[in-house]
Amino acid sequence: MAFNIGNQQGGVVNNVAGNQTVHDGQSAVFTADGQEVRGLVRELRASIERTALPPAVEPEVRAELDSLDEEVARPEPDREAVAGRLGRITRLLSSAGALATASTGLIGPLGALAGWLGALGQPILRAIAG
């Protein structure tokens, strides 16, 4: 049997010819180098700019995005700081109703950044899934 798979991205991907048994679950850590993470923040910013936000929320979201951008530009970003900023952005977007009507353009970069954070990103993933 042969697998011809061009490109895959996901938390856990199994390609099995036959049967597979998994004991005690599976987990994965999303890894991305600094350039990819900065690209995800740029993608998130572009998606947010295309989203109509209430005037009361927009300045807060932009300030958090600016801080997030600065943090991921460091050679070794502080993932806890990134998680805090991304969590605040997610809560602000949720309170503005933007996540309820969001397209994959907004959910995609939020989810990818949360995945990069590993366990720190789990609350963000739950928020965008709900």
Can you give the pTM of this predicted structure?
0.72
Note the pLDDT tens digit of each residue in 22-53. 666 555 545 555 568 999 999 999 999 988 88
Tokens of 107: 């959910």
Distance, CA of 7 to CA of 79 (rounded, Å): 27
The CA dihedral of 109, 73, 120, 28, to the nearest 10 degrees, is 70
Residues 70-98: tens digit of each pLDDT: 999 999 999 999 999 999 999 998 888 87
DSSP for residue 111: H
**What is the H or E stretch that residue 59 is in?**
helix 58-72
